[in-house]
Chain A
Protein backbone atom coordinates (compact mmCIF):
# COMPACT_ATOMS: atom_id res chain seq x y z
CA UNK A 1 0.00 0.00 0.00
CA UNK A 2 1.37 3.38 -0.92
CA UNK A 3 1.95 6.08 1.65
CA UNK A 4 -0.41 9.03 2.00
CA UNK A 5 0.69 12.44 0.65
CA UNK A 6 0.59 14.02 4.10
CA UNK A 7 1.05 12.06 7.28
CA UNK A 8 0.78 13.57 10.75
CA UNK A 9 1.08 11.36 13.78
CA UNK A 10 0.74 12.33 17.44
CA UNK A 11 1.92 15.87 16.68
CA UNK A 12 2.46 17.97 19.76
CA UNK A 13 3.46 21.60 20.14
CA UNK A 14 3.78 23.82 23.19
CA UNK A 15 4.41 27.53 23.39
CA UNK A 16 6.53 28.64 26.29
CA UNK A 17 5.99 31.95 27.98
CA UNK A 18 8.24 33.04 30.86
CA UNK A 19 6.23 31.32 33.56
CA UNK A 20 4.27 28.52 31.98
CA UNK A 21 3.99 26.19 29.07
CA UNK A 22 0.91 26.38 26.94
CA UNK A 23 -0.14 23.27 25.06
CA UNK A 24 -1.15 24.46 21.59
CA UNK A 25 -1.50 21.18 19.74
CA UNK A 26 -1.61 17.57 20.89
CA UNK A 27 -2.62 14.15 19.60
CA UNK A 28 -3.02 15.43 16.07
CA UNK A 29 -3.01 12.44 13.78
CA UNK A 30 -4.38 12.39 10.26
CA UNK A 31 -3.47 11.56 6.68
CA UNK A 32 -4.25 13.43 3.50
CA UNK A 33 -4.26 11.94 0.02
CA UNK A 34 -3.19 13.80 -3.11
CA UNK A 35 -5.98 16.03 -4.41
CA UNK A 36 -8.09 15.98 -1.25
CA UNK A 37 -9.75 19.05 0.21
CA UNK A 38 -9.64 18.68 3.99
CA UNK A 39 -11.27 21.07 6.44
CA UNK A 40 -9.81 21.67 9.86
CA UNK A 41 -12.39 23.12 12.22
CA UNK A 42 -12.33 24.17 15.83
CA UNK A 43 -12.90 27.08 18.21
CA UNK A 44 -10.40 29.91 18.37
CA UNK A 45 -7.27 29.01 20.30
CA UNK A 46 -7.47 25.30 19.53
CA UNK A 47 -4.30 25.28 17.47
CA UNK A 48 -5.77 25.05 13.95
CA UNK A 49 -3.44 27.69 12.62
CA UNK A 50 -0.53 26.11 14.46
CA UNK A 51 -1.13 22.79 12.66
CA UNK A 52 -1.12 24.66 9.35
CA UNK A 53 2.07 26.50 10.20
CA UNK A 54 3.76 23.27 11.27
CA UNK A 55 2.92 21.84 7.85
CA UNK A 56 4.25 25.00 6.20
CA UNK A 57 7.51 24.63 8.10
CA UNK A 58 7.01 27.97 9.84
CA UNK A 59 6.59 26.44 13.30
CA UNK A 60 8.63 23.67 14.84
CA UNK A 61 7.00 20.87 16.84
CA UNK A 62 8.10 18.84 19.82
CA UNK A 63 6.60 15.44 19.45
CA UNK A 64 5.27 13.11 16.78
CA UNK A 65 5.99 12.93 13.08
CA UNK A 66 5.10 15.13 10.14
CA UNK A 67 5.79 14.00 6.63
CA UNK A 68 4.69 15.55 3.36
CA UNK A 69 5.22 13.96 -0.04
CA UNK A 70 5.35 10.37 -1.20
CA UNK A 71 6.71 8.30 -4.09
CA UNK A 72 3.82 9.31 -6.28
CA UNK A 73 4.17 13.04 -5.63
CA UNK A 74 7.40 14.46 -4.30
CA UNK A 75 7.33 17.58 -2.18
CA UNK A 76 9.83 20.42 -1.96
CA UNK A 77 8.88 22.56 1.04
CA UNK A 78 10.41 25.72 -0.42
CA UNK A 79 8.49 25.53 -3.70
CA UNK A 80 5.38 23.48 -3.19
CA UNK A 81 3.38 25.47 -0.66
CA UNK A 82 0.80 28.10 -1.49
CA UNK A 83 -0.71 30.05 1.39
CA UNK A 84 -3.89 32.07 1.79
CA UNK A 85 -4.61 33.98 4.99
CA UNK A 86 -7.66 35.70 6.43
CA UNK A 87 -6.32 39.02 5.15
CA UNK A 88 -5.49 39.15 1.43
CA UNK A 89 -2.05 40.63 2.28
CA UNK A 90 -1.66 42.19 -1.15
CA UNK A 91 1.09 44.73 -1.81
CA UNK A 92 -0.85 47.91 -2.42
CA UNK A 93 1.81 49.44 -4.68
CA UNK A 94 1.64 46.50 -7.07
CA UNK A 95 -0.99 45.93 -9.71
CA UNK A 96 -3.13 42.81 -9.36
CA UNK A 97 -1.11 40.91 -11.97
CA UNK A 98 2.18 41.87 -10.26
CA UNK A 99 0.78 40.80 -6.90
CA UNK A 100 0.01 37.37 -8.31
CA UNK A 101 3.55 37.26 -9.70
CA UNK A 102 5.24 37.70 -6.31
CA UNK A 103 5.90 33.99 -5.54
CA UNK A 104 7.18 33.43 -9.09
CA UNK A 105 9.60 36.35 -8.67
CA UNK A 106 10.85 35.07 -5.34
CA UNK A 107 11.41 31.59 -6.74
CA UNK A 108 13.03 33.02 -9.85
CA UNK A 109 10.68 31.23 -12.28
CA UNK A 110 10.92 32.14 -15.98
CA UNK A 111 9.05 35.43 -16.26
CA UNK A 112 7.18 34.94 -19.50
CA UNK A 113 5.68 31.59 -18.57
CA UNK A 114 4.85 32.83 -15.08
CA UNK A 115 3.06 35.85 -16.55
CA UNK A 116 0.99 33.59 -18.79
CA UNK A 117 0.12 31.43 -15.83
CA UNK A 118 -0.75 34.45 -13.67
CA UNK A 119 -3.12 35.72 -16.38
CA UNK A 120 -4.66 32.28 -16.74
CA UNK A 121 -5.18 32.05 -12.97
CA UNK A 122 -6.74 35.51 -12.77
CA UNK A 123 -9.18 34.34 -15.45
CA UNK A 124 -9.87 31.23 -13.41
CA UNK A 125 -10.66 33.15 -10.23
CA UNK A 126 -12.93 35.46 -12.21
CA UNK A 127 -10.72 38.53 -12.35
CA UNK A 128 -10.24 38.83 -16.09
CA UNK A 129 -9.81 42.51 -16.94
CA UNK A 130 -8.54 43.47 -13.47
CA UNK A 131 -4.87 42.71 -14.16
CA UNK A 132 -3.85 46.38 -14.17
CA UNK A 133 -5.95 47.52 -11.22
CA UNK A 134 -4.50 48.20 -7.81
CA UNK A 135 -5.70 46.27 -4.73
CA UNK A 136 -7.54 49.26 -3.26
CA UNK A 137 -9.71 49.39 -6.40
CA UNK A 138 -11.06 45.89 -5.67
CA UNK A 139 -13.66 44.64 -3.18
CA UNK A 140 -12.67 42.40 -0.27
CA UNK A 141 -13.87 39.29 -2.09
CA UNK A 142 -11.92 40.19 -5.23
CA UNK A 143 -8.79 40.86 -3.18
CA UNK A 144 -9.12 37.41 -1.65
CA UNK A 145 -9.52 35.88 -5.13
CA UNK A 146 -6.26 37.61 -6.05
CA UNK A 147 -4.53 36.03 -3.08
CA UNK A 148 -5.85 32.61 -4.14
CA UNK A 149 -4.40 33.15 -7.62
CA UNK A 150 -1.13 34.20 -5.99
CA UNK A 151 -1.09 30.98 -3.95
CA UNK A 152 -1.40 28.97 -7.18
CA UNK A 153 1.01 30.83 -9.47
CA UNK A 154 4.09 28.74 -8.72
CA UNK A 155 2.05 25.57 -9.20
CA UNK A 156 2.52 24.28 -5.64
CA UNK A 157 1.35 20.83 -4.64
CA UNK A 158 -0.18 21.88 -1.33
CA UNK A 159 -2.44 24.86 -0.62
CA UNK A 160 -2.81 25.92 3.01
CA UNK A 161 -5.72 28.22 3.76
CA UNK A 162 -6.13 29.88 7.13
CA UNK A 163 -9.71 31.14 7.51
CA UNK A 164 -9.49 32.72 4.06
CA UNK A 165 -13.11 33.89 4.01
CA UNK A 166 -13.33 34.86 7.68
CA UNK A 167 -13.23 38.59 6.97
CA UNK A 168 -15.90 38.53 4.26
CA UNK A 169 -19.62 39.16 4.67
CA UNK A 170 -21.86 36.08 4.83
CA UNK A 171 -23.15 36.27 1.26
CA UNK A 172 -19.72 36.82 -0.31
CA UNK A 173 -18.45 34.00 1.83
CA UNK A 174 -21.02 31.55 0.43
CA UNK A 175 -20.10 32.63 -3.09
CA UNK A 176 -16.42 32.18 -2.37
CA UNK A 177 -17.08 28.69 -1.00
CA UNK A 178 -18.62 27.69 -4.33
CA UNK A 179 -15.77 29.38 -6.19
CA UNK A 180 -13.19 27.54 -4.12
CA UNK A 181 -14.81 24.20 -4.90
CA UNK A 182 -14.72 25.06 -8.59
CA UNK A 183 -11.07 26.18 -8.41
CA UNK A 184 -10.18 23.04 -6.48
CA UNK A 185 -11.81 20.79 -9.08
CA UNK A 186 -10.13 22.69 -11.90
CA UNK A 187 -6.65 22.81 -10.36
CA UNK A 188 -6.72 19.38 -8.69
CA UNK A 189 -4.65 20.69 -5.76
CA UNK A 190 -4.41 19.23 -2.29
CA UNK A 191 -6.00 21.82 -0.01
CA UNK A 192 -6.07 22.14 3.75
CA UNK A 193 -8.73 24.59 4.77
CA UNK A 194 -8.77 25.95 8.31
CA UNK A 195 -12.00 27.56 9.52
CA UNK A 196 -14.06 28.07 12.64
CA UNK A 197 -17.26 27.84 10.60
CA UNK A 198 -18.72 24.37 11.07
CA UNK A 199 -21.12 24.70 8.12
CA UNK A 200 -18.28 25.89 5.89
CA UNK A 201 -16.05 23.02 7.00
CA UNK A 202 -18.68 20.40 6.18
CA UNK A 203 -19.72 22.05 2.92
CA UNK A 204 -16.17 22.15 1.53
CA UNK A 205 -14.29 19.18 2.92
CA UNK A 206 -14.23 15.56 1.86
CA UNK A 207 -13.18 15.10 5.46
CA UNK A 208 -13.31 17.35 8.50
CA UNK A 209 -10.60 17.27 11.16
CA UNK A 210 -12.19 18.47 14.42
CA UNK A 211 -9.95 20.10 16.99
CA UNK A 212 -11.05 21.15 20.46
CA UNK A 213 -9.53 23.61 22.86
CA UNK A 214 -8.80 23.38 26.58
CA UNK A 215 -6.96 21.07 26.32
CA UNK A 216 -5.98 21.31 22.70
CA UNK A 217 -6.43 17.97 21.05
CA UNK A 218 -7.82 16.33 17.98
CA UNK A 219 -11.36 15.11 18.57
CA UNK A 220 -12.46 13.60 15.28
CA UNK A 221 -11.64 12.85 11.67
CA UNK A 222 -15.02 12.86 10.03
CA UNK A 223 -15.65 11.55 6.52
CA UNK A 224 -18.14 13.78 4.68
CA UNK A 225 -19.59 11.44 2.06
CA UNK A 226 -21.65 14.07 0.25
CA UNK A 227 -20.97 13.91 -3.48
CA UNK A 228 -19.10 16.59 -5.45
CA UNK A 229 -19.88 18.92 -7.12
CA UNK A 230 -21.62 20.25 -4.04
CA UNK A 231 -24.52 22.65 -4.29
CA UNK A 232 -26.00 25.12 -1.84
CA UNK A 233 -29.20 23.12 -1.40
CA UNK A 234 -27.17 20.26 0.07
CA UNK A 235 -26.96 22.44 3.15
CA UNK A 236 -30.62 21.70 3.83
CA UNK A 237 -30.20 17.92 3.44
CA UNK A 238 -30.65 15.68 6.41
CA UNK A 239 -27.11 14.25 5.99
CA UNK A 240 -25.59 17.73 6.13
CA UNK A 241 -27.41 18.48 9.38
CA UNK A 242 -26.21 15.17 10.83
CA UNK A 243 -22.58 16.11 10.19
CA UNK A 244 -22.86 19.61 11.61
CA UNK A 245 -24.72 18.36 14.71
CA UNK A 246 -22.01 15.77 15.25
CA UNK A 247 -19.32 18.49 15.19
CA UNK A 248 -21.31 20.82 17.44
CA UNK A 249 -21.39 18.01 20.01
CA UNK A 250 -17.61 17.84 20.00
CA UNK A 251 -17.55 21.53 20.80
CA UNK A 252 -19.85 20.90 23.75
CA UNK A 253 -22.83 22.56 22.13
CA UNK A 254 -26.10 20.66 21.81
Chain B
Protein backbone atom coordinates (compact mmCIF):
# COMPACT_ATOMS: atom_id res chain seq x y z
CA UNK B 1 0.00 0.00 0.00
CA UNK B 2 2.75 2.41 1.00
CA UNK B 3 4.75 1.35 -2.03
CA UNK B 4 1.74 1.94 -4.25
CA UNK B 5 1.10 5.47 -3.01
CA UNK B 6 4.79 6.25 -3.33
CA UNK B 7 4.72 5.17 -6.95
CA UNK B 8 1.53 7.16 -7.65
CA UNK B 9 3.28 10.15 -6.12
CA UNK B 10 6.20 9.69 -8.52
CA UNK B 11 3.91 9.53 -11.55
CA UNK B 12 1.99 12.55 -10.27
CA UNK B 13 5.24 14.48 -10.06
CA UNK B 14 6.16 13.58 -13.64
CA UNK B 15 2.79 14.83 -14.91
CA UNK B 16 3.04 18.01 -12.82
CA UNK B 17 6.50 18.89 -14.15
CA UNK B 18 5.32 18.48 -17.74
CA UNK B 19 2.19 20.55 -17.15
CA UNK B 20 4.37 23.16 -15.45
CA UNK B 21 6.51 23.52 -18.56
CA UNK B 22 3.41 24.01 -20.72
CA UNK B 23 2.12 26.63 -18.30
CA UNK B 24 5.42 28.55 -18.30
CA UNK B 25 5.44 28.33 -22.11
CA UNK B 26 1.94 29.85 -22.24
CA UNK B 27 2.63 32.62 -19.73
CA UNK B 28 5.98 33.53 -21.30
CA UNK B 29 4.38 34.11 -24.69
CA UNK B 30 1.46 36.09 -23.27
CA UNK B 31 3.72 38.33 -21.20
CA UNK B 32 6.43 38.91 -23.81
CA UNK B 33 4.02 39.37 -26.71
CA UNK B 34 6.16 37.29 -29.06
CA UNK B 35 4.29 37.10 -32.41
CA UNK B 36 2.45 33.88 -33.25
CA UNK B 37 4.53 33.08 -36.30
CA UNK B 38 7.69 33.01 -34.21
CA UNK B 39 6.38 31.06 -31.26
CA UNK B 40 2.82 29.75 -30.95
CA UNK B 41 1.07 29.30 -27.61
CA UNK B 42 0.35 25.76 -26.41
CA UNK B 43 -3.31 26.42 -27.23
CA UNK B 44 -2.57 27.46 -30.82
CA UNK B 45 -0.33 24.41 -31.22
CA UNK B 46 -3.12 22.15 -30.08
CA UNK B 47 -5.66 23.93 -32.31
CA UNK B 48 -3.54 23.14 -35.37
CA UNK B 49 -4.59 19.51 -34.92
CA UNK B 50 -8.06 20.52 -36.04
CA UNK B 51 -6.83 21.75 -39.40
CA UNK B 52 -6.42 19.51 -42.39
CA UNK B 53 -2.76 18.62 -42.45
CA UNK B 54 -3.29 14.88 -42.74
CA UNK B 55 -1.92 14.42 -39.21
CA UNK B 56 -3.05 10.87 -38.84
CA UNK B 57 -1.70 9.67 -42.15
CA UNK B 58 1.64 11.43 -41.72
CA UNK B 59 2.05 10.17 -38.17
CA UNK B 60 1.36 6.60 -39.29
CA UNK B 61 3.93 6.92 -42.08
CA UNK B 62 6.65 8.25 -39.76
CA UNK B 63 5.72 5.66 -37.14
CA UNK B 64 6.14 2.89 -39.71
CA UNK B 65 9.56 4.21 -40.65
CA UNK B 66 10.72 4.53 -37.03
CA UNK B 67 9.39 1.21 -35.79
CA UNK B 68 10.29 -0.60 -38.99
CA UNK B 69 13.90 0.57 -38.92
CA UNK B 70 14.17 -0.09 -35.20
CA UNK B 71 12.68 -3.59 -35.40
CA UNK B 72 14.88 -4.50 -38.35
CA UNK B 73 17.95 -3.25 -36.47
CA UNK B 74 17.13 -5.47 -33.49
CA UNK B 75 16.65 -8.57 -35.63
CA UNK B 76 19.77 -8.01 -37.73
CA UNK B 77 21.91 -6.68 -34.84
CA UNK B 78 21.13 -9.59 -32.52
CA UNK B 79 21.62 -12.12 -35.33
CA UNK B 80 24.98 -10.62 -36.23
CA UNK B 81 26.08 -10.59 -32.58
CA UNK B 82 25.20 -14.29 -32.30
CA UNK B 83 27.12 -15.12 -35.48
CA UNK B 84 30.11 -13.15 -34.22
CA UNK B 85 29.99 -14.98 -30.92
CA UNK B 86 29.62 -18.44 -32.41
CA UNK B 87 32.16 -18.02 -35.18
CA UNK B 88 35.11 -16.19 -33.69
CA UNK B 89 37.08 -15.88 -36.99
CA UNK B 90 34.15 -13.94 -38.43
CA UNK B 91 34.26 -11.65 -35.43
CA UNK B 92 38.02 -11.13 -35.68
CA UNK B 93 37.60 -10.22 -39.30
CA UNK B 94 34.51 -8.02 -39.17
CA UNK B 95 34.46 -6.43 -35.72
CA UNK B 96 37.11 -3.75 -36.45
CA UNK B 97 35.12 -2.89 -39.57
CA UNK B 98 31.94 -2.52 -37.51
CA UNK B 99 33.70 -0.18 -35.10
CA UNK B 100 34.88 1.99 -38.03
CA UNK B 101 31.41 1.94 -39.58
CA UNK B 102 30.02 3.07 -36.24
CA UNK B 103 32.07 6.27 -36.59
CA UNK B 104 30.31 7.30 -39.84
CA UNK B 105 27.58 9.84 -39.12
CA UNK B 106 24.81 7.70 -40.56
CA UNK B 107 22.55 10.64 -41.43
CA UNK B 108 25.24 11.68 -43.93
CA UNK B 109 24.42 8.51 -45.84
CA UNK B 110 20.81 9.63 -46.27
CA UNK B 111 21.26 11.30 -49.69
CA UNK B 112 23.09 8.21 -50.95
CA UNK B 113 20.33 5.88 -49.77
CA UNK B 114 17.84 7.97 -51.67
CA UNK B 115 19.96 7.76 -54.83
CA UNK B 116 20.22 4.00 -54.42
CA UNK B 117 16.73 3.08 -53.29
CA UNK B 118 14.65 6.10 -54.40
CA UNK B 119 12.72 8.03 -51.78
CA UNK B 120 9.81 6.79 -49.74
CA UNK B 121 9.02 4.72 -46.65
CA UNK B 122 11.45 1.95 -47.63
CA UNK B 123 14.57 4.07 -47.82
CA UNK B 124 13.63 5.94 -44.62
CA UNK B 125 13.32 2.60 -42.85
CA UNK B 126 16.82 1.83 -44.11
CA UNK B 127 18.23 5.11 -42.81
CA UNK B 128 16.61 4.52 -39.43
CA UNK B 129 17.88 0.93 -39.47
CA UNK B 130 21.46 1.85 -40.31
CA UNK B 131 21.64 4.36 -37.49
CA UNK B 132 20.22 1.89 -34.89
CA UNK B 133 22.10 -1.21 -35.94
CA UNK B 134 25.53 -0.63 -34.43
CA UNK B 135 24.59 0.27 -30.86
CA UNK B 136 22.44 -2.86 -30.74
CA UNK B 137 25.09 -5.08 -32.34
CA UNK B 138 27.92 -3.73 -30.19
CA UNK B 139 26.09 -3.99 -26.84
CA UNK B 140 24.77 -7.49 -27.57
CA UNK B 141 28.19 -8.66 -28.73
CA UNK B 142 29.74 -7.29 -25.55
CA UNK B 143 27.03 -8.83 -23.36
CA UNK B 144 27.55 -12.30 -24.80
CA UNK B 145 31.20 -12.07 -23.79
CA UNK B 146 30.49 -11.05 -20.21
CA UNK B 147 30.76 -14.49 -18.67
CA UNK B 148 33.20 -15.33 -15.91
CA UNK B 149 35.69 -17.91 -17.28
CA UNK B 150 35.55 -19.74 -13.93
CA UNK B 151 31.82 -20.23 -14.40
CA UNK B 152 32.48 -21.71 -17.83
CA UNK B 153 35.04 -24.04 -16.24
CA UNK B 154 32.48 -25.01 -13.62
CA UNK B 155 29.84 -26.05 -16.15
CA UNK B 156 32.46 -27.67 -18.41
CA UNK B 157 33.28 -30.11 -15.59
CA UNK B 158 29.61 -31.11 -15.92
CA UNK B 159 30.05 -31.64 -19.65
CA UNK B 160 27.66 -28.80 -20.45
CA UNK B 161 26.93 -28.47 -24.16
CA UNK B 162 27.54 -25.26 -25.99
CA UNK B 163 23.81 -24.80 -26.32
CA UNK B 164 23.27 -25.23 -22.56
CA UNK B 165 25.98 -22.68 -21.82
CA UNK B 166 24.35 -20.29 -24.28
CA UNK B 167 20.76 -20.65 -23.17
CA UNK B 168 21.36 -20.88 -19.41
CA UNK B 169 24.28 -18.51 -18.91
CA UNK B 170 25.30 -16.40 -21.91
CA UNK B 171 21.95 -15.24 -23.24
CA UNK B 172 20.31 -14.20 -19.95
CA UNK B 173 23.56 -12.49 -19.01
CA UNK B 174 23.62 -10.57 -22.29
CA UNK B 175 20.04 -9.26 -22.15
CA UNK B 176 20.71 -6.29 -19.83
CA UNK B 177 23.43 -5.15 -22.24
CA UNK B 178 21.10 -5.55 -25.20
CA UNK B 179 18.46 -3.43 -23.49
CA UNK B 180 20.91 -0.63 -22.80
CA UNK B 181 21.76 -0.64 -26.51
CA UNK B 182 18.07 -0.71 -27.41
CA UNK B 183 17.39 2.33 -25.25
CA UNK B 184 20.13 4.32 -26.97
CA UNK B 185 18.74 3.21 -30.34
CA UNK B 186 15.20 4.51 -29.67
CA UNK B 187 16.30 8.14 -29.95
CA UNK B 188 18.45 7.36 -32.98
CA UNK B 189 15.68 5.58 -34.84
CA UNK B 190 13.41 8.63 -34.70
CA UNK B 191 16.21 10.94 -35.82
CA UNK B 192 17.04 8.61 -38.73
CA UNK B 193 13.48 8.51 -40.07
CA UNK B 194 12.97 12.28 -39.79
CA UNK B 195 16.26 13.09 -41.52
CA UNK B 196 15.21 10.81 -44.36
CA UNK B 197 11.95 12.69 -44.67
CA UNK B 198 13.75 16.03 -44.62
CA UNK B 199 16.02 15.01 -47.48
CA UNK B 200 13.34 13.78 -49.85
CA UNK B 201 9.81 12.47 -49.29
CA UNK B 202 6.19 13.12 -50.06
CA UNK B 203 4.62 12.02 -46.80
CA UNK B 204 5.43 11.76 -43.09
CA UNK B 205 5.78 14.28 -40.27
CA UNK B 206 9.21 15.43 -41.46
CA UNK B 207 7.76 16.12 -44.91
CA UNK B 208 4.83 18.00 -43.35
CA UNK B 209 7.15 20.20 -41.30
CA UNK B 210 9.09 21.17 -44.42
CA UNK B 211 5.80 22.08 -46.15
CA UNK B 212 4.38 24.28 -43.38
CA UNK B 213 7.77 25.93 -42.82
CA UNK B 214 7.27 27.81 -46.10
CA UNK B 215 4.18 29.54 -44.70
CA UNK B 216 5.79 30.07 -41.26
CA UNK B 217 3.03 28.01 -39.72
CA UNK B 218 4.97 27.47 -36.50
CA UNK B 219 1.97 26.05 -34.66
CA UNK B 220 1.84 23.10 -37.07
CA UNK B 221 5.63 22.75 -36.88
CA UNK B 222 5.41 22.55 -33.11
CA UNK B 223 2.68 19.96 -33.39
CA UNK B 224 4.90 18.00 -35.77
CA UNK B 225 7.74 18.00 -33.26
CA UNK B 226 5.37 16.91 -30.50
CA UNK B 227 4.03 14.00 -32.54
CA UNK B 228 7.53 12.90 -33.54
CA UNK B 229 8.50 12.99 -29.88
CA UNK B 230 5.41 10.99 -29.02
CA UNK B 231 6.42 8.27 -31.49
CA UNK B 232 9.80 8.08 -29.73
CA UNK B 233 8.31 8.15 -26.23
CA UNK B 234 5.92 5.30 -27.03
CA UNK B 235 8.83 3.23 -28.36
CA UNK B 236 10.94 3.97 -25.30
CA UNK B 237 8.05 3.09 -23.02
CA UNK B 238 7.61 -0.29 -24.72
CA UNK B 239 11.32 -1.01 -24.42
CA UNK B 240 11.19 -0.23 -20.69
CA UNK B 241 8.13 -2.43 -20.29
CA UNK B 242 9.76 -5.27 -22.18
CA UNK B 243 12.91 -4.88 -20.10
CA UNK B 244 10.87 -5.06 -16.92
CA UNK B 245 9.22 -8.32 -17.97
CA UNK B 246 12.23 -9.98 -19.60
CA UNK B 247 15.09 -8.85 -17.40
CA UNK B 248 13.34 -7.81 -14.20
CA UNK B 249 14.89 -5.83 -11.42
CA UNK B 250 17.48 -8.41 -10.43
CA UNK B 251 19.40 -8.68 -13.66
CA UNK B 252 20.30 -5.08 -14.42
CA UNK B 253 23.88 -4.34 -15.47
CA UNK B 254 25.68 -4.16 -12.14
User: Do most interface residues of chain A lie in helix, strand or loop, or is the interface mixed?
Assistant: loop
* Chain B residue contacts of A136, Cβ below 8 A: 250
* Chain B residue contacts of A92, Cβ below 8 A: 250-251
Closest A residue to B246 by beta carbon equals A93
Complex Cα–Cα for A105 and B167 (A): 12
Beyond the given pairs A58-B153, A89-B151, A91-B172, 4 more chain A to chain B contacts, judged by CB atoms under 8 angstroms and listed by A's residue number, are A56-B157, A81-B157, A87-B148, A93-B172
> Contacts A106-B164, A136-B250; is A77 near B151 (CB within 8 Å)?
no
Q: Which residues of B227-254 are within 8 A (CB) of A?
A: 247-248, 250-251
* B159 at interface by CB-CB < 8 Å: yes
**Is the CB–CB distance between A103 and B156 below 8 Å?**
no
Binding site for B on A (CB under 8 A): 53, 56-58, 77-79, 81, 83, 85, 87, 89, 91-93, 102-103, 105-107, 134-136, 154
Best-buried of A87, A91, A103, A106 by chain B (most CB within 10 Å): A106
> Contacts A89-B151, A93-B251, A136-B250; is A77 near B168 (CB within 8 Å)?
no
* Chain A residue contacts of B173, Cβ below 8 A: 91, 93
Leading 10 A-B pairs by shortest Cβ distance: A78-B159, A93-B251, A134-B250, A81-B157, A89-B151, A106-B158, A85-B150, A106-B160, A83-B154, A56-B157
User: Do most interface residues of chain B lie in helix, strand or loop, or is the interface mixed?
Assistant: helix
* B155 at interface by CB-CB < 8 Å: yes
Closest A residue to B248 by beta carbon equals A93
* B29 at interface by CB-CB < 8 Å: no
**Is the CB–CB distance between B158 and A103 below 8 Å?**
yes
**Is the CB–CB distance between A58 and B156 below 8 Å?**
yes
**Is the CB–CB distance between B150 and A79 below 8 Å?**
no
Q: Mark B135-173, 1 if CB is under 8 A from A, else 0.
A: 000000000000010110111111110001000110011
**Is the CB–CB distance between A56 and B248 below 8 Å?**
no
* Chain B residue contacts of A106, Cβ below 8 A: 155, 158-160, 164, 168
Q: What are 8 A-B pairs at a CB distance below 8 A?
A: A77-B157, A79-B158, A85-B150, A89-B151, A92-B250, A92-B251, A107-B158, A134-B250
* Chain B residue contacts of A135, Cβ below 8 A: 250
Closest B residue to A86 by beta carbon equals B150
Closest A residue to B249 by beta carbon equals A134
Tell me which of A56, A105, A107 contacts B168 (CB under 8 A).
Answer: A105
Complex Cα–Cα for A91 and B247 (A): 13
**Is the CB–CB distance between A57 and B172 below 8 Å?**
no
* Chain A residue contacts of B157, Cβ below 8 A: 56-58, 77-78, 81, 83
Complex Cα–Cα for A102 and B156 (A): 12
Complex Cα–Cα for A79 and B251 (A): 29
Min distance, Cβ A109 to any Cβ of chain B, angstroms:
11
Complex Cα–Cα for A102 and B106 (A): 44
**Is the CB–CB distance between A87 and B150 below 8 Å?**
yes
Closest A residue to B154 by beta carbon equals A83
Complex Cα–Cα for A56 and B157 (A): 6
**Is the CB–CB distance between B153 and A91 below 8 Å?**
no
Closest B residue to A93 by beta carbon equals B251
* Chain B residue contacts of A77, Cβ below 8 A: 157
Complex Cα–Cα for A81 and B153 (A): 11
Tell me which of B153, B159, B247 contacts A53 (CB under 8 A).
Answer: B153
Complex Cα–Cα for A77 and B157 (A): 7
Complex Cα–Cα for A93 and B153 (A): 20
> Contacts A93-B247, A93-B250, A93-B251; is A102 near B168 (CB within 8 Å)?
yes
**Is the CB–CB distance between A91 and B169 below 8 Å?**
yes
* Chain B residue contacts of A91, Cβ below 8 A: 168-169, 172-173
Complex Cα–Cα for A231 and B56 (A): 79
* Chain B residue contacts of A102, Cβ below 8 A: 155, 168
Closest A residue to B156 by beta carbon equals A58
Complex Cα–Cα for A47 and B18 (A): 62
Complex Cα–Cα for A57 and B157 (A): 7
Best-buried of A56, A91, A134 by chain B (most CB within 10 Å): A91
* Chain A residue contacts of B250, Cβ below 8 A: 92-93, 134-136
Q: Mark B62-96, 1 if CB is under 8 A from A, else 0.
A: 00000000000000000000000000000000000
* Chain B residue contacts of A154, Cβ below 8 A: 158
* Chain B residue contacts of A87, Cβ below 8 A: 148, 150
Min distance, Cβ A157 to any Cβ of chain B, angstroms:
12
Closest B residue to A55 by beta carbon equals B157
Complex Cα–Cα for A106 and B151 (A): 13
Closest A residue to B161 by beta carbon equals A106
